[in-house]
Amino acid sequence: MYALKVPTATTTTSSVVMVGLLLMLVAAPPVLESITVWVVSAAVVLATLLGGPSRMLITELNTPLTSLGSLTFEVWYLGRCKTTGDLTACETFIPSATARWRRRMLRIVDVTKYFGRVRALESVTVRVDRGELVGLIGPNGSGKTTLINVITGYYEPNGGTVYLGDRKLTGMKPHEIAALGVARTFQVPRVFRSMTVMQNLMAALAYNREARKGAEERAEWLLGALGLSEKRDELASNLSGGQQRLLEIARALIVNPKVLLLDEPTAGLNPAVIETLRELLQRVKESGTAVLMVEHNMRVVSSFCDRVVAMNEGVIVAEGRPEEVLLNEAVIEAYLGR
C-alpha cells in the first residue's frame, strides 16, 4: 500500500492542480505508475510551497481511489480547512473518505505517571472519538483525575503521549492545550467566586479568540439549558455547590471545545438536574465534541456513556460497552477492594 501524507498546503489554484493530478492518476496506465508517483509528489511539494489562505489536505490515504498494478493509492481526505493542519475544522470531504481516521480526536497512548514511588498511571491507552462519550470509572485513587491532569498539561507524564487529532499535546502548557480546544472541569469546582455567572463564562474566552464569536448568545443558551438563566448576574460565590458545578460545565462549553473532560460532573446534583445534563451532553456529542467523563454513579455511567474504561491502581482493567464493563469481574473486584 502506498500512502501519501501532507499535513497542509495550498491556494485555490494549487487545489485545482492537485485535483487534476489525482484525476490523471485515476486514468494513468500501470506503466506510468512510477512517473505518476513522482509527479504527484512534486505537485504536493509545489502546493505546499505556494501556501495560502485556504488549505487543502491530502493525507494518509485509506479508501482506494485507484489501483495501479501493485500500487494502490488510497484517499482519506480532501478538503479545505479553516485552521492549519486541523482536520476537525475542515469544511468539505470526499464522501467516501474513511471514517475511523477522521473520527479520531483524543488519543492517550501508553501514558505512565509516577508520584515518587506511587504508581498513578501505568501504560494507559485510551481513545475518544468525535461525538463519543467515554466514561472513566474506578475506585478512589485509581488514577482518573491524574489522567485528566496529564491530558490537560497540569502534569507531565513519565512516559507516553497524548494527541489531539494528529497534534501532540504532551509537553505543552495547560493554557496552550486549552487554546487548542481541550476544556475541562475539576473534581472540586473552580469557579471565580468574586465574579458573576456571566463574567465567569466570558473569562473562559481569554485564551480562545475563535470562540468569542457568538459567545454571548451561546452563554445565554448554555445558562438556559442548565437552568441558570436567572443567576446570570449573581456572584458565583452565592451559587450552591451543584450550581457551581453546572457553571463550570457551562464555562467549559462556551469555547465550543473539541474535547471535553469532566471530573465527576454529577456529584451533588439531584436526579432532575442530572437528566438536564444528560440532554445537554447529548447535544454536545452531536456537535462532534469528544467527551471523557470520570464518574462514580453507575446509573449515570449506564445512561450517559457510549463506552467505558475501568481503571484500578493506575492500570486499565476493562474496557467496552457500559453493560459489559459494569459486570466485568475485575471491575467488581476492584470496587470491592479484593
Ligand X SMILES: Nc1ncnc2c1ncn2[C@@H]1O[C@H](COP(=O)(O)OP(=O)(O)OP(=O)(O)O)[C@@H](O)[C@H]1O
Per CB under 6 A, which region of 139-147, 235-243, 252-260, 274-282 contacts ligand X? 139-147
**What are the residues whose beta carbons fall under 8 Å from the beta carbon of 49, sequence distance 6 or more?**
none
Q: Which of residues 243-302 bind Mg ion (CB under 5 A)?
A: none
- Residue whose CB is less far from Mg ion, 36 or 312: 312
Q: Is 134 exposed, middle or buried (0-12, 13-18, 19+ CB in 10 A)?
A: buried
Stretch that binds Mg ion, among 2-10, 83-91, 183-191, 282-290 (CB under 5 A): 183-191
* Residue facing Mg ion at closest CB distance: 145
* Contact present, 24 and 65 (Cβ < 8 Å): no
Choosing among Mg ion, ligand X, none, which partner's interface includes residue 143 (Cβ < 5 to 8 Å by kind)? Answer: ligand X
Residue 256 binds which of Mg ion, ligand X, none (CB < 5-8 A, kind-dependent): none
Cell of 327: 459486570
Secondary structure (3-state) at 143: coil
Rounded distance between C-alpha atoms, residue 124 and residue 128, angstroms: 13
From 16-24, 33-41, 72-80, 144-152, give the range in contact with ligand X by CB under 6 A.
Answer: 144-152
Site residues for ligand X, window 118-137 (CB under 6 A)? 118, 120
Q: Which one, 28 or 291, has the nearer CB to ligand X? A: 291
- Residue 211 or 294 with smaller CB distance to ligand X: 294
For 9-37, the DSSP string reads ---HHHHHHHHHHHHHHHH--GGGHHHHH
* Residue that has been written with the C-alpha cell 485555490 in this structure: 12
Q: To which H or E segment does residue 124 belong?
A: strand 118-129
- Among Mg ion, ligand X, none, residue 135 binds (CB under 5-8 Å by kind): none
Q: Does 145 bind Mg ion (CB under 5 A)?
A: yes
Q: Which three cell numbers, joined as nine digits, stand for 272? A: 432532575
Q: Which option in Mg ion, ligand X, none does residue 120 bind, with CB closer than 5 to 8 A by kind?
A: ligand X
Q: Which three cell numbers stand for residue 127?
A: 481513545
Coil/strand/helix, residue 174: helix
Amino acid, single-letter form, for residue 73: F
Residue 174 makes contact with ligand X by CB under 6 A: no
Closest CA to 119 of 138, 152, 146, 151: 146
Our finding on whether 142 is near Mg ion (CB under 5 A) is no
Q: Rule CB under 6 A: which of 61-120 touch ligand X?
A: 115, 118, 120
On whether the CB atoms of residues 97 and 148 are closer than 8 A, the answer is no
Apex 156 CA angle, 150 and 159, nearest 5: 90
CB of 296 to Mg ion, least distance (A): 9
The answer to whether the CB of 316 falls within 8 A of the CB of 323 is no
| Beta carbon nearer to ligand X, 156 or 210 | 156
Shortest distance (Å) from residue 164 CB to Mg ion? 22
Residue 106 touches which member of ligand X, Mg ion, none, C-beta under 5-8 Å by kind: none
Of 59, 88, 142, 256, the residue at the interface with ligand X (CB under 6 A) is 142
Q: Which of 70, 84, 140, 194 binds ligand X (CB under 6 A)?
A: 140
Q: Which is nearer to ligand X, 102 or 144 (CB)?
A: 144
Instruction: Answer positive or negative: Cα dihedral of 107, 308, 185, 234.
Output: positive
* Shortest distance, position 115 Cβ to ligand X, whole Å: 3
Contact 6, 48 (CB under 8 A): yes
Site residues for ligand X, 181-240, by CB under 6 A, read 187
Binding site for Mg ion (CB under 5 A): 144-145, 187
Binding site for ligand X (CB under 6 A): 115, 118, 120, 138, 140-146, 187
